[in-house]
């Protein structure tokens, strides 16, 4: 019997995960099971915990979806609103979390406390326990993991009476459990591309239709510049759903001159979307605070953009146990990016393999093997093409390095990019256990015991980089084992500078933050 503590809440929450067999059946079908029932079912759950969809309009929602960049866009919007009026109480709901499930529900930039999470979690749990299922169509007494957390988030924001809510879609848009707010203040779609397993067989037109499902009658619909096929679907959705306007945003030139709090060239587009969403929100709720656009950005907006933090996305973290000397020797820097689509991995490589991030002006590794020792830790969800993902990472690096003086020689071999590559599961600890918040029941026995996805990644790497030293390719059962390889490399050469690139999965990034004891620096957030 679990207790009514935070740990007890997490234990109960984990019972709502879809197991491996369920996920495999969904993947085989090519689409979420009974998608047409998803929204009516979610509304039924909402009513059972005491709310109607119309009640949610009081949360003053900004709703955001997209294939990549939706979380970063939400983080920018959150910072912009909090800086615009520090007296506001701003709610933020995102997914997934990195090391603690309560990270998904934030108030004024900070995850709610363990005490508050447990209190509101059990409020929702008890209300579902004590109410009956509305119709025979919906026989599930409780929703699955993400839907349940969405209910908890709505309950938290209603109880705490937030002034604004930034709501990130989980998957897709049309049938996502967040898509039950009848009239948000504004809706936005970030960059489109081929994303989650459910959409691998779909065209950009179909994906655009899914994402555009968050547009609402009488509500402005925003998006960034998109491929023509996806843009056509978004525009049609905005028209069919009677959005008050449909705006395709060109990037704001001034943003390229700023040092945004989130790194990577792709963040300029995300910041552009966030600025327009925040600007519209302020125009509706606090017109006196809304700066003129497209005039130069206000000092307040600039400050908000520069102070935005979003852990695990294009984030460089110096290991507090090995900060090194002024010249960088003896240091370990973790480059954390949960990129898990082809498009986001390309952006990740563009971020890391650029001067001032992963490369320095004196780093001529391809010629004389100076520069840091580089280690790649990688994993991706079963069902995705590891060879395509790794190929994207390598080919993007190839192109970038050829543009930087000092990196033009021997690029084709690719072996010089990393000294070690590690393919591991997302299991947290070396004893084979997960941190409670990171537990996953979505792994098959083969994935856990035979390391099938990791072996496939190893084979893909060897085919892509046949000259890479065999002894430096590591297939490991846990994140803890991967971190131990890094510690062994540190110990072997205490004066070496290490770069550890972690990509392919936000769950992997979270596991690394936990196993490498990086939370104190990686999860730090800015305050208004």
The DSSP secondary-structure symbol of 109 reads T
Concatenated DSSP letters for 439-460? ------HIIIII-HHHHHHHHH
Which pLDDT score, from 0 to 100, does residue 21 have?
46
Residues 507 and 96 sit within 8 Å (Cβ to Cβ): yes
- CATH superfamily assigned to domain 6-25+35-306: Mur-like, catalytic domain (3.40.1190.10)
Q: What sign for the dihedral angle of Cα 74, 79, 83, 87?
A: positive
DSSP-assigned beta bridge partners for residue 65: 189
pLDDT in tens, 474-508: 999 999 999 999 999 999 999 999 999 999 999 99
Angle between helices 386-403 and 342-352 (to 10 degrees): 30
Q: For residue 488, what are its two tokens?
A: 């062994």
- At residue 327, the pLDDT reads 79
The predicted pLDDT at position 479 comes to 97
Determine the pLDDT at residue 69.
92
Q: How many residues does the chain have?
A: 528
At 272-328, the pLDDT tens digits run 999 999 999 999 999 988 888 877 999 999 999 999 999 999 999 999 999 998 877
Question: What whole-number distance in Å separates Cα of residue 120 and Cα of residue 159?
Answer: 9
Query: Are 5 and 119 in contact, with CB atoms under 8 Å apart?
Result: no
Q: What's the rounded Cα separation, in Å, for the pair 137 and 175?
A: 17
Element housing 261 (H / E): none
Domain boundaries, given as residue ranges, for the chain: 6-25+35-306, 315-522
The answer to whether the beta carbons of residues 371 and 363 sit under 8 Å apart is: yes
Distance CA 54, CA 51 (A): 8
The helix (H) or strand (E) run that includes residue 188 is: strand 186-189
Name the DSSP letter for residue 423.
Answer: E
Dihedral of the alpha carbons of 327, 331, 335, 336, in degrees to the nearest 10: -150
- Map residue 374 onto helix, strand or coil: strand
Helix/strand/coil percent split, the chain, to 5: 45, 15, 40
Each residue's pLDDT tens digit in the chain (528 positions)?
A: 568 999 999 999 999 987 544 445 444 444 445 677 899 999 999 999 999 999 999 999 999 999 889 999 999 999 999 999 999 999 999 999 999 999 999 999 999 999 999 999 999 999 999 987 665 555 678 999 999 999 999 999 999 999 999 999 999 999 999 999 999 999 999 999 765 444 445 788 999 999 999 999 999 999 999 999 999 999 999 999 999 999 999 999 999 999 999 988 899 999 999 999 999 999 999 998 888 887 799 999 999 999 999 999 999 999 999 999 887 789 999 999 998 888 889 999 999 988 888 887 555 554 444 578 999 999 987 656 788 899 999 988 888 877 765 554 444 445 678 999 999 999 999 998 988 888 887 666 666 778 989 999 999 999 999 989 999 999 999 999 999 999 999 999 999 999 999 999 999 999 999 999 999 999 876 556
* Pairing assessment for the beta strands 331-336 and 105-107 based on DSSP bridges: unpaired
155 phi, psi to nearest 5 deg? -65, -45
- Strand segments, DSSP code E, in 97-163 are 105-107, 110-111
> What single string gives the DSSP state of each residue in 290-357?
PPPSSSPPPHHHHHHHHT---TTSSEEEEEEEEE--TTSTTEEEEEE----SHHHHHHHHHHHSSBTT
C-alpha distances in Å from residue 282, one per residue of 80, 238, 279, 516: 10, 22, 5, 41
Q: DSSP secondary structure string, 82-136? A: HHH-TTS-EEEE-S--SS-GGGGEEETTEEPPHHHHHHHHHHHHHHHHTS--SST
Q: Nearest-CA neighbor of 295 among 247, 245, 246, 253? A: 253
Give the right CATH number for 315-522 from 3.90.190.20, 1.10.3720.10, 3.30.830.10, 3.40.605.10: 3.90.190.20
Spatial separation of the C-alpha atoms in residues 390 and 436, rounded to whole Å: 30
Half-sphere exposure of 233 (CA within 13 A, CB side): 21
């Amino acid at each position: 019997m679990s207790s009514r503590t935070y740990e007890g809440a997490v234990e109960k929450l984990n019972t709502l995960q879809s197991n491996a067999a369920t996920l495999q059946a969904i993947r085989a079908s090519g689409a979420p099971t009974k998608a047409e029932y998803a929204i009516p079912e979610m509304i039924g759950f909402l009513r059972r915990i005491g709310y109607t969809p119309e009640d949610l309009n009081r949360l003053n929602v900004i709703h955001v979806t997209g294939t990549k960049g939706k979380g970063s866009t939400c983080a920018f919007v959150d910072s912009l609103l909090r800086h615009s009026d520090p007296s506001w109480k701003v709610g933020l709901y995102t997914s997934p979390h990195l090391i603690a499930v309560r990270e998904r529900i934030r108030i004024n930039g900070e995850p709610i406390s363990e005490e508050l999470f447990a209190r509101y979690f059990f409020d929702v749990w008890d209300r579902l326990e004590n109410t009956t299922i509305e119709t025979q169509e919906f026989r599930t007494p409780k929703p699955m993991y993400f839907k349940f957390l969405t209910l908890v988030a709505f309950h938290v924001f209603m109880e705490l009476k937030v002034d604004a809510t930034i709501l990130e879609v989980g998957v897709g848009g049309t049938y996502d459990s967040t898509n039950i707010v009848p009239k948000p203040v504004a809706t936005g779609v970030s960059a489109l591309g081929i994303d989650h397993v459910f959409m691998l067989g779909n065209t950009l037109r179909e994906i655009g239709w899914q994402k555009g499902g968050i547009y609402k009658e009488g509500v402005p619909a925003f998006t960034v510049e998109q491929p023509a096929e996806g843009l056509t679907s978004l525009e049609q959705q905005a028209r069919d759903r009677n959005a008050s306007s449909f705006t395709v945003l060109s990037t704001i030139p001034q943003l390229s001159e700023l040092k945004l709090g989130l790194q990577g060239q792709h963040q300029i587009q995300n910041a552009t979307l966030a600025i327009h969403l925040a600007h519209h929100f302020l125009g509706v709720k606090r017109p006196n605070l809304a700066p003129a656009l497209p005039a130069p950005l206000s000092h307040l907006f600039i400050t908000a953009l520069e102070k935005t933090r979003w852990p695990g996305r294009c984030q460089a973290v110096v290991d507090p146990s090995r900060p090194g000397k002024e010249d960088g020797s003896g240091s370990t820097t973790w480059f954390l990016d949960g990129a898990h689509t082809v498009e986001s991995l390309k952006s990740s490589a563009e971020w890391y393999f650029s001067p001032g991030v992963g490369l320095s002006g004196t780093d001529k590794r391809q010629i004389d093997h100076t520069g840091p020792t580089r280690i790649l830790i990688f994993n991706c969800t079963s069902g995705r093409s590891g060879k395509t993902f790794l190929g994207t990472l390598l080919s993007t690096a190839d192109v970038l390095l050829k543009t930087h003086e000092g990196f033009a020689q021997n690029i084709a071999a690719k072996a010089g990019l990393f000294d070690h590559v590690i393919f591991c599961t997302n299991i947290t600890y070396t004893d084979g256990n997960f941190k409670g918040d990171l537990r996953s029941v979505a792994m098959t026995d083969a994935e856990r015991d035979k390391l099938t996805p990791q072996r496939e990644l190893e084979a893909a790497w060897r085919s892509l980089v046949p000259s890479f030293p065999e002894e430096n390719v590591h297939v490991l059962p846990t994140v803890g084992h991967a971190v131990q390889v890094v510690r062994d490399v540190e110990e072997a050469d205490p004066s070496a500078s290490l770069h550890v690139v972690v990509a392919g999965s936000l769950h992997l990034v979270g596991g690394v933050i936990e196993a490498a004891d990086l939370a104190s620096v990686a999860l730090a957030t800015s305050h208004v």
